[in-house]
Structure 1
Amino acid sequence: MDLENVLRLQEADVARDQEIDRILASHARDYFTILQINPLFDFEGLIKRLYRKKSLLIHPDKVKHPQASKAFDRLKRAEHVLSTEDDGDEDAKKRVNEKAALVDIYKQVSVGLKTSIVEDFNHKDNVLIREKVHLVLDNQDKQEEVERVYNQRQEASKNEELKNAAKERQMRKQWESKWEDDRDSRVQLWRNYVNKVEKKKKKPKKKVLA
């Protein structure tokens, strides 16, 4: 193999590694950044084409990068969500809503930053928008984690209350059962006591000598 081919292969390997690192550095739910699409412009026709190009570039069978599979899974997920159409299926609706929510975030960030609307993905204004979107998604993740932990604690507290209530019912049931089991014994003790009292009452008094 001549030097030119060696260099070409090395460049291809570097390009694959760089693309994998880029995807992994993107937020896992920012599917537009993963596919390098600007959602502020018409993007439907780009999804399949860019996915095919990138999937061939970073396919785990073709690269040695240790996290190639993780990057490839993110790429597949991005294409899956952005390509989904609402066909009435519940899962499809969730993906369509997720895509719409992501587009809304981009639009709101763009308005908030007062950036120019430029189609070029690598334009500095679009870079700023993507950085802000990343922060928004990070904050969403943190909020979801807080809610998850809160709900988890609430569920644990509820389970503890149910457990204590069940334990209390069991103890009451055992106490009532024991009370019923001891009923005959209590009755007999009461009868014995009554008999002793009556015997004392009937016992003749000693005569006192004058």
Structure 2
Amino acid sequence: MPPEASSSRHTQTAAAPNGGSSGHGQLGPDGAATDAPAPEKIDLGSENGAERGDQGQKEAAGNGGPSGVPAPPDEAGKDDLLREFFMEMRAVDRDNEVDRILGTFKLNPFEQLLLRFDAGPEEVRRQYRKLSLMVHPDKCSHPRAREAFEVLGEAHKLLLDGERREQLDFALGVAREEIRKERRKSTKHDAAVRVAIALHEEGRAGVEAVYEATDEFHEKWKAKARDVLARTEWRRRNLAKRIKDETNRIEEEEKTTKAQLKRVREHKETWEKTRDERVGTWRDYLKSGGKKKKKKGMTELRPPKIKTNDEDKLYVQRPVGEQFRPPQSK
């Protein structure tokens, strides 16, 4: 029996001579129980109980739990496995983001930064900071992470450049107007749209504003913007090629003109250098008498020589058909 129980029993026995049990009040004159305070219990084994409690806590801590059941051997490695799993998931997300950036439409920086076309400068900076940290070459193991990081940097610079942003917004505005024209044409005889226009406070403008705030309109706008930007870039490249060809042609003409002028100048310089030589030759001619040699006159008329054989152009008489032969006289 534990010491605490034995001490409690001795205490109850000491209080029994007063005519009442330890668990009830004392009896009154009529035999009824009264609510007298219970006698004070003296715990003789409190110090021993405290020591045993401390020892039990230490044993429970050593066994791996308050119930004394030892922890499973792989419990300590679960956190490491979970941490490794999340690290792998983050690495996969980084690689997927690199592939998305490199595979997206290259002429629209809004698509590269995953932004709507009406995003402001602050949203551009915030999104660039988020994506650049995700695909940074020092944190992403993808072999083309640096290319994706540079693409994001170019998109960020373009959207924060006032002049280039205006050009991009103009092209996007053209695409939006084309989408609006197509919608007006397709909903011209739509009864549901007519009812919505009649019920809306702002009429057709309000209905169109609500429609343009939806993701459906934004997806159509994105597709049309790709077409407009591609056509714009094609025209720009053709114009740049024509300008380059014209510049090359002008440069070739200038080179030809310079070469001709150089030849004329060299001829003049040579003519001036040989002036003394020409003057000396003329003086020598004058000293010699300045008379030309007379040709001997012809004393007799000589007939032309007759060729006896022409080896180059031999005359060959070809056979004549019977139909072309003249009739013989009788």
Normalized against structure 1, the TM-score is what? 0.74
Identity of aligned residues (%): 25
1:37, 1:43 within 8 Å by CA — same for their partners in 2?
no
Q: Does 1:27 align with 2:27?
A: no
1:19, 1:58 within 8 Å by CA — same for their partners in 2?
yes
CA distance in 2 between partners of 1:198 and 1:156 (Å): 57
Q: Which has the higher contact order (CA 8 A, sep 6+)?
A: 1
State the partner residue of 1:67. 144
Query: What amino acid maps onto 2:134 in structure 1?
Result: L
State the partner residue of 1:208. none
Deviation at 1:4, TM superposition (A): 3.5
Query: What amino acid maps onto 2:236 in structure 1?
Result: E
Deviation at 1:6, TM superposition (A): 3.5
Query: Aligned to 1:60, what secondary structure does the other structure show?
Result: coil
Q: Does 1:105 align with 2:171?
A: yes
CA distance in 1 between partners of 2:108 and 2:291 (Å): 95
Query: What amino acid maps onto 1:72 in structure 2?
Result: F
Change (3 A) 1:112 1:196: same
State the partner residue of 1:134. 226
Query: Aligned to 2:117, what secondary structure does the other structure show?
Result: coil
Q: Does 1:118 align with 2:184?
A: no
State the partner residue of 1:16. 94
CA distance in 1 between partners of 2:154 and 2:276 (Å): 73
CA distance in 2 between partners of 1:198 and 1:36 (Å): 98
Pairing of 1:186-201 with structure 2 (within 5 A): 186-196=278-288
Query: Aligned to 1:64, what secondary structure does the other structure show?
Result: coil
**Any gaps of 5 or more consecutive residues in structure 1?**
85-94, 201-210
State the partner residue of 1:76. 153
Decide which of 31, 36, 39 is 2:117's aligned counterpart.
39
1:113, 1:129 within 8 Å by CA — same for their partners in 2?
yes
Aligned length in residues: 185
Deviation at 1:17, TM superposition (A): 1.8
2:174, 2:228 within 8 Å by CA — same for their partners in 1?
no
CA distance in 1 between partners of 2:291 and 2:82 (Å): 124
CA distance in 1 between partners of 2:95 and 2:217 (Å): 26
State the partner residue of 1:171. 263
**Any gaps of 5 or more consecutive residues in structure 2?**
1-76, 184-210, 293-330
Give RMSD over aligned pairs: 2.5
Deviation at 1:96, TM superposition (A): 0.3
CA distance in 2 between partners of 1:18 and 1:128 (Å): 25
| Structure ranking higher in helix proportion | 1
State the partner residue of 2:307. none
**Structure of larger gyration radius:** 2
Deviation at 1:195, TM superposition (A): 4.6
Describe the superposition over 1:119-169 as per-residue Cα deviations: whole angstroms up to 9, x where unpaired.
5xxx34322322222232222332222223222222222222222222212
Query: Aligned to 1:46, what secondary structure does the other structure show?
Result: helix
Decide which of 273, 294, 297 is 1:181's aligned counterpart.
273
Query: Aligned to 2:238, what secondary structure does the other structure show?
Result: helix
CA distance in 1 between partners of 2:281 and 2:82 (Å): 109
